[in-house]
Structures are given as C-alpha cells and as structure tokens.
Amino acid sequence: MHVLAAEEVTDRPLAWPVVSHQVRGSGAVSDFVNDAVQVPDGGLMNRQYLLHPGAVGVVAWDAEDRIAVVRQYRHPVSFELLEPPAGLLDADGESWLAAAQRELAEEAGLQAGDWRVLVDVFTSPGAGQESLRIYLARELAAAPVPDGFVAHDEEAHMEVAWAERRDLVAAILAGRLENPTMVSGVLALEVARLSGRLDDLRAADAPWPARAARDAHNAELAGLDGHAG
C-alpha cells in the first residue's frame, strides 16, 4: 500500500458505461432509478439510487461568534433537526451563490457582505446523486423576505435562532447534532478558523466539479430507454 502524494489526494470524475436505465418511481424532488452498469471486467452490476437536483447550505457566522440556525422537522428520520439555512438547486437559471443568498434571506431573514465556499459534499454517494455546497457567510445584516416567498409545510413551522459556534461544535462532537449540512459546515469552519485559513477559503464562484459530472451523467441517462424526465 503506497502513500498518496499531495496531488493524488483528490476525488476523480469517472463514469462507467450505463447499459440500461429504468425509472422505478418519481417524486416531487427525486426519481428512484435502476441502472445496469458495465464494470471494467465486462460484467454488469445493477445500482438503485435517487436522482437529485443538488442543494446549497449557509453557515452564517456573525461578529459575536454566533451561527444562524433553523429547527426543522425531517419526516424520513423522525427528528426535528437543528440545521443551517439550506435549500434545493431547483430554480432554472439560478446560480449556486444566488440560491444560497435566497435561502439565507427566506429562512433566516439575513444577507451577507462576504461569501466564501466552506466545503463541498456528496451527502450519500452510495444511495443518491445529491451534491451539496456549503457557504460561509459573514458581514451579516437583516434582509427582507424575497418577493413572492411563502413558507409551506415544514418550513412554515421552523424555529429560527442563533447558536454559539462553540456550542455547535461541542454538540456535534457529543453526537447531539446529525444534520450533514450542520456537521460538515460547522466542522469545516472550525478547521479553517483554527488553522488560520479563513482568508484562503475558495471564492464564492469557485468551480464545483460535481455539478458538471451530474450534468454529463444525466445527459447520458436521457438518451437511454426507460428514462422519464
């Protein structure tokens, strides 16, 4: 087993050929699909997973060392989770940053003067297509609710609050917080803060290779029999 060189410590885009593609079920956000995939030795494997538009999250960190959070009911896990503001990339033509700015205004009533990329995450790469970009937002101020926004379903019952950064870190390490946006975002902030890398975080418009790979993958699927939508 060799030791990876620094330049080898990276994920690599790779797409094994899809021989057939079937949509087994469609929902409001995701489709559940089955792909027959050709493996390098020539055999076939079947993989079931969820197609997903992707999402953005925002760690909004203020000058008093607090982070804006929402408490949201999550039906699949039967929990009310403490989370950063976040939302789907489901608006045509909207940039990733614009989506994050919109979600911060809608869910927390905030805007930010400084935006950086904290971390990019595949939330469950063995079961779904979702890619998540988590931004760090600083220089916070109050923002009006975006025109036309009306909270529905879980969002209509969310609690919005501030939490001390150190309390969030302690709760994550104690196993009391499990939302992936919260865990990944807050711990990435803590690493950047303690290592003096806050000013070295990626620009808000930094490339996001996962999105190009998703687009290419979905374009391939669209050309196969059994694809719906």
How many CA atoms lie less than 13 Å away from 74 in the CB half-sphere?
12
| 154 assigned to active site | no
Gap between the Cα atoms of 209 and 218, Å rounded: 14
Task: Give me the residues paired with residue 121 across strands.
Answer: 132
Structure tokens at 121: 């995450």
Gap between the Cα atoms of 215 and 192, Å rounded: 30
Q: Which of 106, 130, 154, 155 is catalytic?
A: 155
Considering just the CA atoms, what is the radius of gyration of the chain in Å?
19
List, in order, residues 6 or more apart from 43 with CB less than 8 Å away. none
**What is the enclosing helix (H) or strand (E) of 24?**
strand 18-26
Report H helices in the chain.
96-108, 165-173, 180-194, 209-222
- Residue 61, φ and ψ in degrees, nearest 5: -115, 120
List, in order, residues 6 or more apart from 45 with CB less than 8 Å away. 36, 37, 39
Sheet of strand 110-122: strand arrangement? 86-88, 55-60, 131-142, 110-122, 202-203
Catalytic positions: 155
